[in-house]
Amino acid sequence: MQALQVKDLCKTYIINKRQNNVLVNVNFTIEQGEMIAVMGPSGSGKSTLLYSVSGMDRPTAGQVILGGKEITKLNEKELAKVRLNEMGFIFQQMHMLKNLTVMDNILLPGYQSRKKDRTRKEIDTYGTSLMHKLGISEIAANDITEVSGGQLQRACICRSLINCPQILFADEPTGALNRGASEEVMSVLNRLNQEGTTIMLVTHDLKVAAKCSRILYIVDGNIKGELALGCLLSQKKDDRGQITDIERLLRERERKLNQWLVEMGW
């Protein structure tokens, strides 16, 4: 079942009376439960694609269909409602309100949405369960300046999940983190994906992309190629049902991805 379908998507900016075609007839689909990475050189249109697909920016032409609904036809109020209720967002810069605790930041979109007529108590309970699931229960009452970068990004993931979205969009979610924190965050995203969450992320990090099930490579505003690696966690067992050496498996996926990226002109 398709979670997202993109048809002939274009995005054009006019700069100094000159037309700049950032996205040119982009087409792809994401199946429900997939974890897709978008890669490409600087200026290739990666972030513009993510923003145009997720409704944060208006495409110039084309269609974006989320769960059977064409969101490119919606007005601003309708689109804002879709972003709040049906999508989750994770960014490199962890935008949180400084005057709220970590827990309050997580709960705020839930209070704004009241999706499925949930009570505040139900939203509070779900927020608490998300923090427990992601291993950050102990920082619930902390200010956002009192926690590590890895903890804060996991809190951002909790916030992105508070309204049970159809899909998560992530723009360089590990870009501001050290390698250890990056691996922790990707472990969380992989686990969420295994549980059925659909994820589309932009990254320049080969190690991050190697943990995704499929990679789209964009150049000059169009998809030049794609590589299917398969779900990482489903490959942890071999044909005999034995646990595979995960480090060896990751090295193999990284090597395969690196070879493909070189062929793409990375």
Break the chain into its structural domains and give their ranges: 2-264
Count of CB atoms within 10 A of residue 214's CB? Answer: 18
Q: Read off the pLDDT of residues 172-224 as tens digits, 9 standing for 90 and up.
A: 999 888 889 899 999 999 999 999 999 999 999 999 999 999 999 999 999 99
Size (the chain), residues: 266
CATH of the domain spanning 2-264, picked from 3.40.190.10, 3.40.50.720, 3.30.2040.10, 3.40.50.300:
3.40.50.300
Residue whose token pair is 């966690």:
233
Report the phi/psi class of residue 196: left, alpha or beta, with left for phi > 0 and alpha for psi in -120 to 50.
left
Q: Read off the pLDDT of residues 128-154 as tens digits, 9 standing for 90 and up.
A: 999 999 999 999 999 999 999 999 999
Sign of CA dihedral 61, 65, 70, 74: negative
The pLDDT score that the predictor gives to residue 236 is: 59
Supply the Cα-derived Rg of the chain in whole angstroms.
Answer: 19
Q: Which residues contact 145 (CB under 8 A, 6 or more apart)?
A: 98
Model pTM? Answer: 0.92
Query: Torsions phi, psi of 187, nearest 5?
Result: -60, -40
The pLDDT score that the predictor gives to residue 28 is: 97
- 16: which 2 tokens? 């100094």
Sign of CA dihedral 250, 253, 255, 261: negative
